[in-house]
Structure 1
Amino acid sequence: MQSRSNSAQRIMLSDPSPRTPQRSCSQTPLLKRTPSRATLSISQSSKKRRRFSIQTFDFETTELGAPPASEVAVEETDADRFLAVRGSTMLPLNTTPRTNRIAKSFGLVDDRVLNCGETSATPAQTKVRSILRRCASELFDTPRTISAISAKSNLAVRKQFVMALDGPGISLNLFASPMAWSHSNCIGVAFKLNVYFQNLDTRVIVRLCGVPVIDGVVHSVDWGGITNQHILALGTTCGVVQAWDSLAQKQIVDWSDDDSPVGGIHWNGDLLGVGRKDGRVSLFDIRAPKQVQQVEGHRRHVIGAKWSPDGRYLATGDQSGSVHVWDIRAKDYVTVNDRKVLMKHEGPVKAISWAPWQSGLLATGGLFPDGKIQLWNIHKPNASLTIPTDTNVTALHWSPHCKEILSTHGLSWEPWHVIRRAEPPAKQAPRTSFSNSMTVHAYPSCDKIVSVHAHSAPIGHACIGPDGCSVFTVSPVEETIKMFKVWSAPVGKGKDDGGMSHKCAIR
């Protein structure tokens, strides 16, 4: 039986003459499967380059165990798998009256298929479609609004100074703090041996006091807080510390028993903290002038001192770059996990500022060769943020209204200056975006918001106004003092323009 079937198969395949088909199972002709439209649509629309085989089925050879016929490879295109695309070679499709009726009802006569291109539309339809697309894009792409309090809405819009004053004779010492702004809206400035102040509301300039030549040059000044807003303290390069009443224009206290030169000074209510050149920090109480406390811990000149807003902590920075934080109630270092809180810079630290809206958040800035701004929390000293500037950081001020910090800068330098550990030359120093600038950064992203070249020479010091919106900068080389509007206060808080209702320049 098997031999007869094989012989019949060979005769059928080799004989080209037509024969009448018989009903015998052994003489069944070869049946070839015709691909349908659905098969071609799927095979031509997949992104993956798969291979489908249209195999010739032979029931007789399948029964007899003969090898399958050769495969016909159909390669797919890289088209979208859900949108049928006309291929480069269209295979003939076997259609029936039923498929023609269905194609006609769907508008697919004449072998038309879907494609990725848009159909022709009238100008009116195109215009409506574009309007709808634009409206939808505006819904999903809403621009971020800029706060009216931020420096981006104030200093970035108007970069010019609001007021300018002459400042001849201001100390050229980079460690000096020769200017301060009181809560009564008075600006006090030290000019060599004299201290002047101006009431920004009345515009009256008054010479408050002067010191003898033997007492040295006035190095730093600072106004008392809200409780003592009319009291100004000064310190000289020979160790003299005095407190003056600006209203009565008379001296209140004279602490001249110590001959160690003064560094940074700052008021905390009735308590005045004064840094010394030998590394000590003297604490003077205006209520008990004869009782002076000493805090020791630094080894170099303490050039920066700043009390926290709650009056509990005192941060000090010295000439070697060490920053200590003191607990005034314990009269000792602040410790975390039995370790004292210590921040280290590669250069002297004069610029120190506490954030008024977050407890323990402290910003410190280093001079040459450090040139960095460190943002750190005294409760988590290991988690700190760094803003490199390669420029002297002379002052830092947090905004009380938003999470932004302002820094003032002097000279810039290149890496070779740091390697050689030499002072950067004043005339050949490179100029960068931070040189002689006033720059505002966002917290905690540390992104630069705006940078303004406030002076043509290095900025030596800066102070923030009582409204928390305006900042005074001083350039000893340029002998100029300028006021800038940096932030805006929320509605109903603070004065606009630092109490200045008009804009002018005094020369």
Structure 2
Amino acid sequence: MAHFVFEADLHGLLKLDTPIPNAPPARWQRKAKESSGPGPSPAASMSPMKPANRSYGGSKTPSKTPEKQTLNVSMGMRVPATSTSSAGLSGACKWNWYTARTYGPEHSCSAEEQQKSWAMNLNGFDVEEAKILRLSGKPQNAPEGYQNNLKVLYSQKTTPASSRKHGRYIPSMPDRILDAPEIRNDYYLNLIDWSSQNFLAVALDNCVYLWNHSSGEIIQLLQIENPDDYVSSVSWIKEGNYLAVGTRNAEVQLWDIQQQKRLRSMTSHSSRVGSLSWNSYILSSGSRTGHIHHHDVRVAEHHVATLTGHTQEVCGLKWSLDGRYLASGGNDNLVNIWPSVQGDTGDFTPVQTFTQHQGAVKAVAWCPWQSNVLATGGGTSDRHIRIWNVCSGTCLSAVDAHSQVCSILWSTTYKEFISGHGFAQNQLVIWKYPTMAKVTELRGHTARVLNLTMSPDGVTVASAAADETLRLWRCFEMDPIKKKEKEKANSAKSSIIHQGIR
């Protein structure tokens, strides 16, 4: 039985809610005993029924509060209280041994107020107000005077590697370089074009060569016999089986690629033909006089209309993809937008005329996914690329290219376009649309870029420059995942068509 008695004694000693035997009396007990003189025994003064046997009554506050020690009731330990004044508690209940003993349980504070008071005594601040992670949605303000030594770390805006978007890879070097001897260094001419059948036509002085991109085969299509004559423009029909050729002697020739023979020669201009563009069976040609002629290649009387909106050479000419408008740029710094049909008077008049360029406008390109958006570029005295809404006639954006703009091509894969430039860096620049942010620059030509043309798959851009080279840039390579999805969609579409034919 001895060990049971020992356990009971040990249990009694470990209990914190029982008075400690043989402990010295509390300070308030000693003061009460000294002020009252001989009186009731300590046991009587400890009685909860007689708490008023003090030097002060219920209507009189004590002269001093216990400053040396307060009792943390929940932890059972004595902690210093001199660091916290009654003003620093901000109205919280100052729970201590004195309060509990003097006023009894009817004056006790709530558990929340006790916890706040203990936190103020222990830490010097309210823990709830200093928490970093809370379940509430509102951010907590730092205590007054707090300085964050790690603020540099928290000011960095970082994105996890798993969710970071990487830009596509654009090769800075050309995929292939072809020699182009005797190519004419003339800003106003259009000397290369890429067909839908993957043939690249290049005009070198008085000859036209065809380069098969698939096989690498080179074919000489024609050579002008007159030594004073030269080829000034080339343009493929949409189907890719006919090539239009403009010459210095104001002639427009039509060539059959399969038979490699000239079908017809059309003469209506009085000076060289520097620009050509197809719209179905209508071939439009721009000349040095500033006139634009429409040729119906199906009939003998091919000259069906004349557009007179420029006073100097027409060097940029392009039909929109839907065939509704023809855009023309001239050496008179004008950009005209022509309708595909005649007006009420039987004449063609431009629906829009843009005069903001300060130089010759050769670079003219229609946006492939917005049929009413046109991009134009100015020459050496202008050096600006401008984006137009041809329906409203407003300039959507303009950017200073800091160099002569010779050609512009829109990408069919990305919301981007590429421009070819002359003096002084002779580079190609890829721009993001509509932000007009510069994506990258492609360098390699040692003389100005004269013309740009794009492969039928929209991946490769061919640039012809005055350094007598053609460079092929794979700058619009499709993402492999998107490429597979597109191939699957095309195969599914072709299978459906094949089943329907059966």
Q: Same fold (TM over 0.5)?
A: yes
Q: Is the 8 A contact 2:269 2:287 kept in 1?
A: no
From 454, 459, 473, give the equivalent of 1:484: 473
Q: Structure 1 residue 203 and structure 2 residue 216: aligned?
A: yes
Q: Which residue of 2 aligns with 1:40?
A: 88
Which structure is larger by alpha-carbon Rg, 1 or 2? 2
Q: Is the 8 A contact 2:89 2:117 kept in 1?
A: no
| Cα shift at 1:138 | 7.8
| Cα shift at 1:388 | 0.5
Q: Is the 8 A contact 2:95 2:117 kept in 1?
A: no
Q: Is the 8 A contact 1:215 1:236 kept in 2?
A: no
TM-score by length of 2: 0.66
In the alignment, the residues of structure 1 paired with residue 290 and residue 180 of structure 2 have an alpha-carbon distance, to the nearest angstrom, of 30
Q: Structure 1 residue 259 and structure 2 residue 307: aligned?
A: no
Q: Is the 8 A contact 1:341 1:378 kept in 2?
A: no
Q: Which residue of 1 aligns with 2:438?
A: 448
| Cα shift at 1:332 | 2.5
Stretches of structure 2 lacking an aligned partner (at least 5 in a row): 1-58, 66-83, 102-108, 133-152, 488-502
Shift in alpha-carbon separation, 1:117–1:246, aligned structure 2, 3 A: same
SS in 1 for 2:422: strand
From 157, 161, 168, give the equivalent of 1:153: 168
Q: Is the 8 A contact 1:301 1:319 kept in 2?
A: yes
Q: Deviations over 1:142-179 (max 9, x none)?
A: 85535xxxxx4142xx2121111111010111111111
Q: Deviations over 1:245-272 (max 9, x none)?
A: 1210100110134331112111222111
In the alignment, the residues of structure 2 paired with residue 488 and residue 109 of structure 1 have an alpha-carbon distance, to the nearest angstrom, of 68
Q: Structure 1 residue 380 and structure 2 residue 380: aligned?
A: no
Q: Which residue of 2 aligns with 1:463?
A: 453
Matches within 5 A, 1:324-363: 324-330=336-342, 332-335=348-351, 340-363=352-375
In the alignment, the residues of structure 2 paired with residue 455 and residue 202 of structure 1 have an alpha-carbon distance, to the nearest angstrom, of 25
Shift in alpha-carbon separation, 1:29–1:448, aligned structure 2, 3 A: same
Shift in alpha-carbon separation, 1:38–1:399, aligned structure 2, 3 A: farther
Q: Deviations over 1:119-147 (max 9, x none)?
A: 9xxxxxxxxxxxxx99xx9889985535x
| Cα shift at 1:105 | 8.9
TM-score by length of 1: 0.65
Shift in alpha-carbon separation, 1:38–1:263, aligned structure 2, 3 A: farther
Q: 1:145 corresponds to which letter in structure 2?
A: K
In the alignment, the residues of structure 1 paired with residue 123 and residue 383 of structure 2 have an alpha-carbon distance, to the nearest angstrom, of 74
Q: Is the 8 A contact 1:253 1:289 kept in 2?
A: no
Q: Is the 8 A contact 1:221 1:235 kept in 2?
A: yes
- With a CA cutoff of 8 Å and minimum separation of 6, indicate the structure with the bigger relative contact order: 1
Percentage identity across paired residues of the two chains: 27
In the alignment, the residues of structure 2 paired with residue 295 and residue 379 of structure 1 have an alpha-carbon distance, to the nearest angstrom, of 20
In the alignment, the residues of structure 2 paired with residue 109 and residue 197 of structure 1 have an alpha-carbon distance, to the nearest angstrom, of 92
Q: Is the 8 A contact 1:411 1:458 kept in 2?
A: yes
Q: Structure 1 residue 287 and structure 2 residue 298: aligned?
A: yes
Q: 2:472 corresponds to which letter in structure 1?
A: M
Q: Is the 8 A contact 1:438 1:454 kept in 2?
A: no
In the alignment of these two chains, the number of paired residues is 368
In the alignment, the residues of structure 1 paired with residue 284 and residue 309 of structure 2 have an alpha-carbon distance, to the nearest angstrom, of 14
Q: Is the 8 A contact 2:246 2:253 kept in 1?
A: yes
| Cα shift at 1:182 | 0.5
Shift in alpha-carbon separation, 1:306–1:99, aligned structure 2, 3 A: farther
Matches within 5 A, 1:140-219: 143=163, 145-146=165-166, 152-155=167-170, 158-213=171-226, 216-219=229-232
In the alignment, the residues of structure 1 paired with residue 244 and residue 318 of structure 2 have an alpha-carbon distance, to the nearest angstrom, of 14
Stretches of structure 1 lacking an aligned partner (at least 5 in a row): 1-27, 44-92, 120-132, 147-151, 413-434, 495-507
Shift in alpha-carbon separation, 1:144–1:341, aligned structure 2, 3 A: farther
SS in 2 for 1:40: helix
Shift in alpha-carbon separation, 1:380–1:245, aligned structure 2, 3 A: same
After the TM superposition, which of the residue ranges 326-335 and 95-104 deviates more from structure 2?
A: 95-104
Matches within 5 A, 1:238-253: 238-253=249-264
In the alignment, the residues of structure 2 paired with residue 215 and residue 491 of structure 1 have an alpha-carbon distance, to the nearest angstrom, of 48
Q: Deviations over 1:3-39 (max 9, x none)?
A: xxxxxxxxxxxxxxxxxxxxxxxxx9999999x9574
In the alignment, the residues of structure 2 paired with residue 104 and residue 440 of structure 1 have an alpha-carbon distance, to the nearest angstrom, of 63
In the alignment, the residues of structure 2 paired with residue 303 and residue 32 of structure 1 have an alpha-carbon distance, to the nearest angstrom, of 103
